Amino acid sequence: MDKIAEFIVKWRNKIGFLFIIMIVISVLLIPMVRINYDLSEYVPDTEKAKQGLNIVKEEFGMQSFARVMLNYVTLVQAKEIKDQIASIDGVDMVVWLDDSVDINRPQEFISEELLNDYYKDGSALFEVMFEEDEYSSKTNKAVGEIQRIVPENSNVIGSAVDTKSSQDTLANQITKIMVILVPVVIIILMLTTNSYLSSLLFMAVIGTSILLNMGTNIMFKHVSFVTYSIVAALQLAVSMDYSVFLLHEFEAEDKTDILKAMTKALSTSIVSISSSALTTVAGFVALAFMDFTIGKDMGLVFAKGIVFSLLSVILFMPCLILKFYPMIEKSSHKSFLPNFDKFSKLMSRISYLLIAIVLLIAIPSYVAQNQNEFLYGSASFGGGEGTKVYEDEKAIVEKFGRSNPVIILVPNGDYVSEKAMGEEIENLKVVKTVQSFTNSVPEGIPDSFVPIDSYQKLRTEKYSRFIIYLKTGSETELAFDSVSELENIAKKYYGDDYEITGVIPITMDIKEVVNSDYNTVNRLSIVAVMIILLFTFKSVALPILLTLVIELGIFINMAIPYFTGHSMMFIGYLIVSSIQLGATIDYAILLTNNYLEARKTKVKREASRIAVNKSLPSIITSGGILVVAAFLIKWCSSITAVSQIGELIGRGALISIILVVFFLPHVLVVFDKVIEFTDFNHIKDRTEKRHKKLAQKRDELRKKRKGIKWVTKTMRKHNIKKISNEKKK
């Protein structure tokens, strides 16, 4: 490490210039990174609903849906606005009451059930289908045009609306998060470090790594909007302690020669910083092994960000410190953090009480976190409470209930089977309406007589399409059972020669995939972190103990939604488990290192007290930044999934900090003998002693054997001599 440190210090100016060039390139590349809002993109192509979706894209083009509710309108006024919406470029069709009955007839002659589906209490509801998917610019413009045409008191919802809302607000929300977070982080650093300028240097270094990470995302086909929303804030929060650690090492050195001081600080800290970064990277890389590939998307982007943070701290930060060292000295001040000696003594006195409390919480938390109610699909990606999207959704559902389209594709040509299947589906109570070729075109009309535009909406050379609107949400048992019933009906008429897709079937696929992903991600992240800890501490017991403490924090974090009765997004559960383990294990490593150092000269209780006292400033700095960043994501994001991930990370980090500070020191004391017994050096010493004892025993045996041989040989000679004398006589 000495040679690496010497190289960095020697070539610091050229390294700094190289980083500046990379920053400029990254800033130019960031606008070119494609942001993906399509959750189905991450479902494996082997899943049936995804296969159906691909066929729909090839045969009919990928379409999207929206629901529009007009308030305080007559049937005639609603019809006029419907025609305006239908004429918008990008709108494929608008389904409403007038498709089934003559709206000029008195309402008394219209079926009450049909009327309640489309017109109720002066409100009209349209089901809108767009020509392209919700992620196209054409659909985006069409949604904007609909919102412009309809009266201000109208409500517009659907996947296309959610996507437009997310696209419109995402950049603003990221900016808002960073505008609040950066000053807060600077204040935290100023309060917990010994120089005002060093706080700005920290931000410059981590800011550099964030820009490099965001710019190099150009290497991917696209980045999910969930990843894009939170990566900058979390990268800042998770990797800030690398900078703090290097500066602390530098400040501890003799500054007579600042170049030598930096070389020594780098040489001392590279291994520790790298170990800390690797545990975090391991947690993120584990996500890349998910079959639901949004995990790969997030895992690789986050892991790459941590690597850039590590490189920026090791390579770029020494350049800045040495360049601005005189100014750092001038802006130095005393740390505003108090002495934690009294606190650490108190913790030592109530150790057994704290252990008992944690163990009492542990068992119900472990059980409860397995009982959570999860959301698997796009239901959790809409606008959160208080947003226009949320209020519109609430208003439409309260008046007309829910509606979710499901698409079934069947082979083209069997008119009788199509007609019979369509009628059977229409008779299901959960079905609101069915759009198909057989119920849109009178029987006996040749295909050639049907307008080409109408024909292409529901038929191709290979397939006929059924668009079925279900009166359910997208993630309920009724929705899943209804799709299963539709599949059974399709099998009845076509065997396995059909395709089914839509939000609900895709959600069912996601549920099936991610349920198997959890064990994979959890085991991989735990094993990877434990292997790194094994080489870091050269101990068998410590990796197990430290991982168990953080895993306990994860159990408690994930049990809270169950006890509070809230459903949670499953992808959030997977992601946060890895992030909480990878990011907060650093606090446990720091405290354990300080304990082992103090244990060389102190008894175990005194060593734990010293470890707490010495570790708290760094844990408060790093952990405080992570908690603040995560909760800012929660408070600033109107996207439910992003907000929930922020809440889970912030709460998880806080729980991990509490366990590391209050619980881990006593775990180290209780298992002190086990830690000593399983230490590699101790094992090596014991092995060497055992070998010495065995060698001594072998030597003693050899001596005994030699003695026995000598006695035997002497006795044999004596006997031979005695026998020969007797013979002579």
pLDDT in tens, 224-271: 887 888 888 888 878 887 887 787 778 778 778 888 888 888 888 888
| Nearby residues of 645 by Cβ (< 8 Å), 6 or more positions away | 226, 230, 569, 572, 575, 576, 633
Q: Which amino acid is at 210?
A: I
Q: Is 12 exposed, middle or buried (0-12, 13-18, 19+ CB in 10 A)?
A: buried
- As a whole number, mean pLDDT of residues 283-309 equals 86
Tell me the pTM: 0.77
- Pairing state between β 119-120 and 91-95: unpaired
C-beta separation of 553 from 595 below 8 A = no
Question: What is the pLDDT, as a whole number, of residue 133?
Answer: 76
- As a whole number, mean pLDDT of residues 557-580 equals 80
Q: Which amino acid is at 641?
A: A
Q: Does the pLDDT of residue 348 top 70, yes or no?
A: no
Question: What is the pLDDT, as a whole number, of residue 609?
Answer: 87
Question: What is the pLDDT, as a whole number, of residue 307?
Answer: 93
Spatial separation of the C-alpha atoms in residues 681 and 88, rounded to whole Å: 76
Q: Does the pLDDT of residue 196 top 50, yes or no?
A: yes
Question: What is the pLDDT, as a whole number, of residue 444?
Answer: 55
Using pLDDT thresholds of 50, 70 and 90, give the confidence band for residue 140: confident
- As a whole number, mean pLDDT of residues 271-290 equals 83
Comparing CA positions, the residue from 66, 63, 101, 90 lying closest to residue 458 is: 63
pLDDT in tens, 54-113: 777 777 766 678 889 999 998 889 999 999 999 999 888 888 888 878 888 777 777 777
Q: Does the pLDDT of residue 573 top 80, yes or no?
A: no
Query: Taking the chain, what is the end-to-end CA distance rounded to the nearest angstrom?
Result: 88
Using pLDDT thresholds of 50, 70 and 90, give the confidence band for residue 26: very high
Q: What percent of the chain has pLDDT over 70?
A: 88
Question: What is the pLDDT, as a whole number, of residue 381?
Answer: 61
Q: Does the pLDDT of residue 451 top 60, yes or no?
A: no
Q: Does the pLDDT of residue 685 top 70, yes or no?
A: no
Q: Does the pLDDT of residue 176 top 90, yes or no?
A: no
What phi, psi does 184 have (nearest 5°)?
A: -65, -45
Question: What is the pLDDT, as a whole number, of residue 682?
Answer: 65
Spatial separation of the C-alpha atoms in residues 132 and 322, rounded to whole Å: 56
Q: Does the pLDDT of residue 182 top 70, yes or no?
A: yes
Using pLDDT thresholds of 50, 70 and 90, give the confidence band for residue 217: very high
Question: What is the pLDDT, as a whole number, of residue 526?
Answer: 84
Question: What is the pLDDT, as a whole number, of residue 710?
Answer: 62
Spatial separation of the C-alpha atoms in residues 404 and 604, rounded to whole Å: 62
pLDDT in tens, 436-450: 877 766 555 555 545
Question: What is the pLDDT, as a whole number, of residue 449?
Answer: 47
Spatial separation of the C-alpha atoms in residues 571 and 577, rounded to whole Å: 10
Return the minimum-mean-pLDDT range out of 3-7, 108-112, 146-150, 235-239.
108-112
Q: Does the pLDDT of residue 639 top 70, yes or no?
A: yes
In the numeric block, which tokens belong to residue 712? 């035997």
| Nearby residues of 51 by Cβ (< 8 Å), 6 or more positions away | 45, 499
Question: What is the pLDDT, as a whole number, of residue 325?
Answer: 85
Question: What is the pLDDT, as a whole number, of residue 378?
Answer: 60
4, 17, 246, 512 from 323: Cα distances, Å: 19, 13, 15, 55
Q: Does the pLDDT of residue 346 top 70, yes or no?
A: yes
Q: Does 121 or 577 have the greater pLDDT score?
A: 121
C-beta separation of 567 from 640 below 8 A = no
Mean pLDDT, the chain, rounded, equals 82
Using pLDDT thresholds of 50, 70 and 90, give the confidence band for residue 400: confident
Q: If you ran DSSP here, which 8-state letter would residue 338 be given?
A: P
Spatial separation of the C-alpha atoms in residues 434 and 418, rounded to whole Å: 12
Q: Does 361 or 451 have the greater pLDDT score?
A: 361
Return the minimum-mean-pLDDT range out of 91-105, 568-582, 655-669.
568-582
Extract the runs of DSSP E, i.e. beta strands, from 201-313. Answer: 223-224
Return the minimum-mean-pLDDT range out of 151-160, 277-286, 336-345, 602-611.
336-345
Q: Which amino acid is at 637?
A: S
